Structures are given as C-alpha cells and as structure tokens.
C-alpha cells in the first residue's frame, strides 16, 4: 500500500511552501552548514521528477572563497547592466536593493543541466524539458532547506559563462541556477519585493482560467 498523508502532514507542506523565502546576503548568519546537511538538501533535489528519468542535473557545492569572489564579480557587472534597464524611481529602488548573498552565505551551489548525447523519452517534442527537470530539483531543495530552517537565495544576475569558467565546467554543461545557502536569523513574513512595493501579488482571477482563455 502507498503511504497516505494526513491532513496535518499536508498542512505542514502548505506551511513550508507559504513560508519559503528568497534570502539575500544581509540575512545569513554564521552558523555552519555541515556536509551532512548539504547532502540532505541534495538528496531532496535528486528525487525530483525528471523527463524520461534522465536526471540531467549536476551540482557543484562551493565553499572556496576565491570561487565565490569570482562569481560575485560577475554579479557586480551583470547587476550594473540590469539596473540600466530601469529608469527614474524604479532604477533608484533597484539600486537600493541587496540582490545576492554570494560572499555572506557559507555555501554556494551551482546547478547545471547536462544534456544527454542520445534521445530522451519525453523530450522529443519539448526540448526544454531537460532544463525544467533541473528546476524541479532546485525547488525540491529550496523547500527542504526551509523545512530545516535554512535560507536559500537564487542569484540570476550573473554571466553564466563566467560562472562556468570559475568552476571549470565542461562546455556542454548549462548553468540553470546559482544558489546561496545558509542559516538565517529570520525569514521575512512576506516576499521582500512585495514588502518594498516593487511588485504586487497577482490575484487568482488574473492567472487562472477554465477550459481555455475565452
């Protein structure tokens, strides 16, 4: 028989999902994250669904401060370019935000997609499915981290090629996510960009449709 989860257990998951946050640099504290704990997170990631059971993920656990510094440099450059895409008050608000915690987080995790050299079941019509499998792994890890009261921040303001260089990644590997991981003193009650008025929460009526877009 399959395991049946109780209402309480389902509610626990709902709470973890609701209280998960993207954590920036100013929130990590000094409590060490053990290799065993990182293994627990990676085990959750490796149990994600993957197209054709291809498990096309690769994880690089980074504790080396030289690598962190190299990645942080690419953030600085990419962030200056990103800022230029906003104008007026919005750019001022952008520039005031702390958008990464690369150096502050005790552990960084670079997550790659490694394409298969042969056909993958389920990926023949939608080639991006391999990358999407890797994203499912990241979301598993993120929720697992929150359940262990560990913060995760996903940094996407980076030049993926420079990150690959810093990690000696093979040409074929594609960077999907770069995560900053560490214990935090507090998880914000709401997403920071919502609290600060950057973006409002969409209502269900805006994004849910029945039997088509009509």
Contacts of 83 (CB under 8 A, 6+ apart): 91, 94, 95
Nearest distance in Å: CB 33, a copy of itself: 14
Placement of tokens 């792994």 in the chain: 137
Placement of tokens 């995790």 in the chain: 109
User: What single DSSP character describes residue 101?
Assistant: -
Q: Which is nearer to a copy of itself, 104 or 114 (CB)?
A: 114
Q: Which is nearer to a copy of itself, 106 or 177 (CB)?
A: 177
- Interface with a copy of itself: number of residues (CB under 8 A): 104
Interface of this chain with a copy of itself, residues 13 to 32, rule: CB under 8 A: 13-20, 22
Using CB under 8 A as the criterion, what x/- string covers residues 123-142 for binding a copy of itself? xxxx-xx-xx--xx-xxx-x
Interface of this chain with a copy of itself, residues 71 to 110, rule: CB under 8 A: 78, 81-82, 85-86, 94, 97, 99
Q: Which is nearer to a copy of itself, 30 or 210 (CB)?
A: 210
Nearest distance in Å: CB 81, a copy of itself: 6
Largest Cα separation within the chain, whole Å, is 60
Interface of this chain with a copy of itself, residues 149 to 178, rule: CB under 8 A: 149, 154, 156-160, 166-170, 173, 175-177
**Can you say whether the dihedral through the CA atoms of 194, 91, 184, 5 is positive or negative?**
positive
Nearest distance in Å: CB 58, a copy of itself: 5
| Residue 156 to residues 6, 51, 54, 89, 101, Cα–Cα distance (Å) | 37, 24, 25, 22, 12
Nearest distance in Å: CB 17, a copy of itself: 5
Length of the chain as a residue count: 214
Rounded to whole angstroms, the Cα distance separating 100 from 98 reads 6
Nearest distance in Å: CB 61, a copy of itself: 5
């Amino acid at each position: 028989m399959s395991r049946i989860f109780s209402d309480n257990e389902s509610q626990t998951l709902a709470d973890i999902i609701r209280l998960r946050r993207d954590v920036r640099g100013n929130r990590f504290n000094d409590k060490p994250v053990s290799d065993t704990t990182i293994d627990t997170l990676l085990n959750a990631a490796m149990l994600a669904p993957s197209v054709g059971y291809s498990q096309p993920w690769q994880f690089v656990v980074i504790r080396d401060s030289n690598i962190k510094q190299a990645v942080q440099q690419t953030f600085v450059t990419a962030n200056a370019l990103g800022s230029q895409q906003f104008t007026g008050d919005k750019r001022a608000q952008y520039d005031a935000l702390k958008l990464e915690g690369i150096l502050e987080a005790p552990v960084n995790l670079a997550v790659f997609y490694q394409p298969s050299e042969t056909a993958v079941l389920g990926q023949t019509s939608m080639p991006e499915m391999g990358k999407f499998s890797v994203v499912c792994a990241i979301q598993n890890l993120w929720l697992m981290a929150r359940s262990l009261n560990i913060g995760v921040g996903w940094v996407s303001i980076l030049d993926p090629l420079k990150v690959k260089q810093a990690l000696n990644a093979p040409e074929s590997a594609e960077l999907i996510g770069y995560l900053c991981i560490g214990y935090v003193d507090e998880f914000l009650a709401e997403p920071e960009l919502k609290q600060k008025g950057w973006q409002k929460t969409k209502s269900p009526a805006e994004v849910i449709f029945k039997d088509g877009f009509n």
